[in-house]
Amino acid sequence: DVKVTQSSRYLVKRTGEKVFLECVQDMDHENMFWYRQDPGLGLRLIYFSYDVKMKEKGDIPEGYSVSREKKERFSLILESASTNQTSMYLCASSLAGLVGETQYFGPGTRLLVL
């Protein structure tokens, strides 16, 4: 079974803090993704990565950065947290190539920025 784990289930941070969200997958997947889920907006892609050291902007990258130093780990960084970044953050991974369309998700991190 594919397992995607996220470092925290719940986080409370203050405006202006630097926030790190960690994601680890154990299935040697090439692709990794960060989404945020908000009511009425569904899942929106923040950043994704096709390989180590590679990153691509998703639909809403502003205010975020990512790091992928190892294949199994993909980090999302909020450089200076703001209240509008309060959300559920979901990490996912998938195999490379056209057959890798199924993405496997972690349990999510609910972030509250005060």
Partner 1 sequence: DQQVKQNSPSLSVQEGRISILNCDYTNSMFDYFLWYKKYPAEGPTFLISISSIKDKNEDGRFTVFLNKSAKHLSLHIVPSQPGDSAVYFCAARGILTGGGNKLTFGTGTQLKVEL
Q: Positive or negative CA dihedral for 107, 36, 22, 59?
A: positive
Q: How far apart are CA 40 and CA 32, in angstroms?
A: 24
Query: Binding residue for partner 1 (CB under 8 A) from 21, 24, 25, 31?
Result: 31
Give the DSSP H/E element, type plus range, for residue 56. strand 56-57
Query: Binding residue for partner 1 (CB under 8 A) from 46, 108, 111, 113?
Result: 108
Interaction of residue 100 with partner 1, rule CB under 8 A: yes
Locate 86 and state its tokens: 């309060």
Length of the chain as a residue count: 114
CB of residue 80 to partner 1, shortest distance in Å: 27
Interaction of residue 24 with partner 1, rule CB under 8 A: no
Interaction of residue 58 with partner 1, rule CB under 8 A: yes
Q: How far apart are CA 80 and CA 85, in angstroms?
A: 10
Binding stretches for partner 1 (CB under 8 A): 4, 9, 31, 33, 35, 40-45, 48, 50, 58, 90, 92, 94, 96, 98, 100-108
